[in-house]
Amino acid sequence: MLKSFDARKSGHRLLIDIAAGILHVWFSTCRIKIIGKDIHHRYVCGKVKIVGATWHRGAIFLVWFFRKAHPMIMFSRSRDGEMMARFAEKLGVIPVRGSSSRGGREALQGMLSFLAGPAPRKAATVLDGPRGPRFMAKKGMIVLAKKAGVPLIPVMVSACPAITLKKTWDKTMIPFPFSRVTVIYGEPWNIPGELTGEDLESWRLGVESVLNEMMRRADDDTGYRET
């Protein structure tokens, strides 16, 4: 029984390894346009610490896109989260497991400890994960940026043509090979360290609004429409 379980686990990992290789080649064919190149070069490529924030729908591509920065990214403890974490790890990302529903406090503490190390260090996750509601931000990464004293960087991606996984709760978007991809950055948010209660909620709503506006702008730029 144990050998059977180990075999299934090994086979599962092998499939993820193969998928990671395929997606790496797949995404490498895309024509990527960056809006906010100054932010990209200073905060993502530069030797500063940041917390990145986006929506769940574009997470697969963004894990690949940010792989060279070797960020620490939070993934849920679900089966889907396990697959994404394994995929990310194959690309050079540092996965940490947790979400708003399970293990989030421990994961945030791990990310805080990570950011306390020497620069450059980057941390990120999806603000509407692990199960939505879609495009509604949770507070976790805002609290992390506040406690770590580092800027929160909103980032969004869109692509056309793209596959839309209609049966997923977030309508996952995956660019086709050779598609046009737009990655857009918002201005850095410096979260005041003394923020609490209603003030924190105001910042959460503000970040949510900015991400949704960036998503509309990115979709308009590529021509992507969810169908």
Q: What is the pLDDT of residues 103-151, one digit of tens each?
A: 678 889 999 999 999 989 999 999 997 888 999 999 999 999 999 999 9
CATH level 2 (architecture), domain 2-222: 3-Layer(aba) Sandwich (3.40)
pLDDT for residue 2:
38
Alpha-carbon distance of 181 to 158, in angstroms, equals: 6
Helix (H, G, I), strand (E, B) or coil at 193: coil
Domain residue limits, the chain = 2-222
Alpha carbons within 13 angstroms on the beta-carbon side of residue 133 total 2
Kindly report the average pLDDT of the chain as a whole number. 90
If you average pLDDT over residues 170-174, what whole number do you get?
96
Other CB atoms within a 10 A radius of the CB of residue 220 amount to: 12
pTM of the entire predicted model = 0.90
Q: Work out the burial of residue 94: count CB atoms within 10 Å of its CB; fewer than 13 is exposed, 13-18 middle, 19 or more buried.
A: middle
What's the rounded mean pLDDT across residues 147-160? 97
Q: CB of 68 within 8 A of CB of 92?
A: yes
The per-residue pLDDT for range 124-136, each reduced to its tens digit, is: 999 997 888 999 9
Please give the average per-residue pLDDT across 166-190, as a whole number: 96
